[in-house]
Structure 1
Amino acid sequence: MNYLAHIYFSGTNRKVAVGNFIGDFVKGKSYEKYPSSFQKGILLHRKIDHFTDTHPIFLETVDLLRPSFGRYSGIMADMYYDYLLASDFEQYSNGVSLSKFSTNFYLSALLYYRWLPKKVKGFIFHFIRTNRLKEYSTFEGLQYSLKIMSIYNSPAINPTLGIEVLASNEVQLRSLFDEFMKEAQQKFPH
């Protein structure tokens, strides 16, 4: 799962949501230097990652994507799952709009800016200004996120191919995602 899903499973506690958001950037036991609510979010991030990375439906999604993306199939599955959540957000959020949810999180990130790791501080204003969480809900927004990833993380990620594969497999991916989310919501009630 990517940023949106991690924040979604954090519930309403702002510090837990920020902790969950920064989870990938806090390694090993360094989470212990954070206040308890942030620690809870960081550890929740790790639990969500473990649940997702070992879940049969997610693994089936990764296998579906492997012919197109090889070793990057897991990353693409994470990105697709955020798109699928964002594009049907109100179904999963008891009617809360993605716009309201996103704005609330951006406020949380700014309120607790001092707790963000240096790498996150380096991109958070761009993340907010470009409304990344809301933009996950469109092909264009997802393609932009994939482009950023291809520049800063892995040139092997092809944003155009990413959208082509999503468009041609969206029905099957959405079916897998809906099934996955039923179990994830039970495991991580928010």
Structure 2
Amino acid sequence: MNYLAHIFLSGDDRRVQIGNFVGDAVKGRAYENYPLGFREGILLHREIDDYTDHHPVVREVVDMLRGGFGRYSGVLTDIYFDHLLARSFQSYSGQSLRWFAFGFYRALVLNYRHLPERFKGFLWHFILTNRLVRYASLSGIKRSLEIMVEYKNLGVDPGAAIVFFERNQDRLQELFDRFLPDVQKKCRMMLEADISC
């Protein structure tokens, strides 16, 4: 799952959402240095990643992509799933993606001091380019991939990734719609179990 899905699966607590958002940047036991809600989000991020890596639907999408994109198939699966979530966000969440994103951006600014340095470095660009809302368009996910190619050395041709999505979007949508309720249920269970302990 990519940024939007991680935030969406965090429930309504902004601290948990932010912790989940920055989860990749917090390694090992460093999560213990964060306030409680952020810790819960960081641990939730790890649980989501583990759960999705082993889910049969995700494995099927990765296998679909492997022939054309090799070891980057998992990254593209994350991006495609964020796009599918974003473009129908209202129906999945009951709220507008714009309002959801605006509220989250505001929370990021208010909690800036808690963000890892890596996130502080790109936060303003992330907000000013309205990255979460841009996931709803193919041009938006293409731009996200271009940024990843430029700054993270992602070995993927963004144009080819978009062509693959367009040719397979019905099947990808079907798989995503099977996967989302499973991961939502898993996250609700984890949040109710207070995973920060």
Alpha carbons of structure 1 residues 52 and 155: separation in structure 2 relative to 1, 3 Å? closer
Is it true that 1:181 corresponds to 2:192 in the alignment? no
Please identify, of 75-84 and 180-189, the stretch whose mean Cα deviation from structure 2 is larger. 180-189
Q: Tell me, in whole angstroms, the C-alpha distance in 2 between the residues paired with 1:127 and 1:88.
A: 21
Q: Tell me, in whole angstroms, the C-alpha distance in 2 between the residues paired with 1:131 and 1:157.
A: 23
Structure-2 residue corresponding to 1:65:
65
TM-score, normalization by structure 2:
0.94
What's the secondary structure of 2:121's corresponding residue? Answer: helix
CA contact (8 A) 2:97 2:133 kept: yes
Count of aligned pairs: 189
Q: Which amino acid aligns with 1:99?
A: R
1:100-133 per-residue CA deviation (whole Å, 9 max, x = no partner) reads 0000110111110001111100101000000000
Structure-1 residue corresponding to 2:126:
127
In the TM superposition, what is the alpha-carbon distance from 1:155 to its structure 2 partner?
4.2
Consecutive unaligned residues of structure 1, counting only runs of 5 or more, are none
Structure-2 residue corresponding to 1:166:
165
Structure-1 residue corresponding to 2:106:
107
Q: How does 1:1-190 map to 2 (within 5 A)?
A: 1-94=1-94, 96-189=95-188
Q: Tell me, in whole angstroms, the C-alpha distance in 1 between the residues paired with 2:154 and 2:10.
A: 31
* Two-structure CA RMSD over aligned residues (Å): 0.9
TM-score, normalization by structure 1:
0.97
Query: Structure 1 runs of 4+ off > 2 angstroms?
Result: none
CA contact (8 A) 2:72 2:154 kept: no
In the TM superposition, what is the alpha-carbon distance from 1:149 to its structure 2 partner?
0.3
Q: Which amino acid aligns with 2:91?
A: Q
Consecutive unaligned residues of structure 2, counting only runs of 5 or more, are 192-197
CA contact (8 A) 2:26 2:116 kept: yes
Q: Tell me, in whole angstroms, the C-alpha distance in 1 between the residues paired with 2:176 and 2:56.
A: 11
Q: Which amino acid aligns with 2:117?
A: K
Q: Tell me, in whole angstroms, the C-alpha distance in 2 between the residues paired with 1:119 and 1:51.
A: 25
Q: Tell me, in whole angstroms, the C-alpha distance in 2 between the residues paired with 1:90 and 1:105.
A: 16
